[in-house]
């Protein structure tokens, strides 16, 4: 999945969650990504966040601490 698509998807979820009280929005964003994004998608998300997180809404950056970081992929 492209970096642009991962960023867009995370930001769309964050934009919706911004209508909630702040702490609830952060928790719900992390919960949604943990529940519905497969490890490959979360791995790509963390690669972007580790590279500086450019383009992500602030709520995504804040929720990152509560998102499960998948194990590194084994070499093929």
Residue 71 is assigned to a structural domain of this protein: no
Residue 75 is assigned to a structural domain of this protein: no
In this predicted model, which residue has the larger pLDDT, 71 or 75?
71
Treating both helix axes as pointing N-terminal to C-terminal, what angle do 3-17 and 39-50 enclose, rounded to 10 degrees? 90
Residue 57 is assigned to a structural domain of this protein: yes
Count of the separate structural domains present in the chain = 1
Please list the helix, strand and coil fractions of the chain in percent, rounded to the nearest 5, in that order.
65, 0, 35
Q: What is the pLDDT of residues 19-68, one digit of tens each?
A: 999 999 999 999 999 999 999 999 999 999 999 999 999 999 999 999 99
3-state secondary structure at position 13: helix
Q: What is the pLDDT of residues 4-28, one digit of tens each?
A: 999 999 999 999 999 999 999 999 9
Residue 76 is assigned to a structural domain of this protein: no
CA distance from start to end of the chain: 19
pTM, rounded to two decimals: 0.90
Residue 72 is assigned to a structural domain of this protein: no
In this prediction, residue 74 has a pLDDT band, given cuts at 50, 70 and 90, of low
């Amino acid at each position: 999945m492209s970096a642009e698509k991962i960023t867009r998807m995370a930001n769309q979820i964050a934009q919706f969650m911004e209508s909630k009280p702040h702490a609830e929005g952060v928790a719900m964003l992390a919960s949604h990504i943990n529940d519905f994004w497969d490890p490959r998608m979360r791995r790509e998300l963390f690669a972007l966040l580790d590279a500086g997180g450019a383009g992500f809404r602030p709520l995504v950056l804040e929720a990152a601490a509560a998102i499960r970081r998948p194990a590194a992929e084994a070499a093929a």
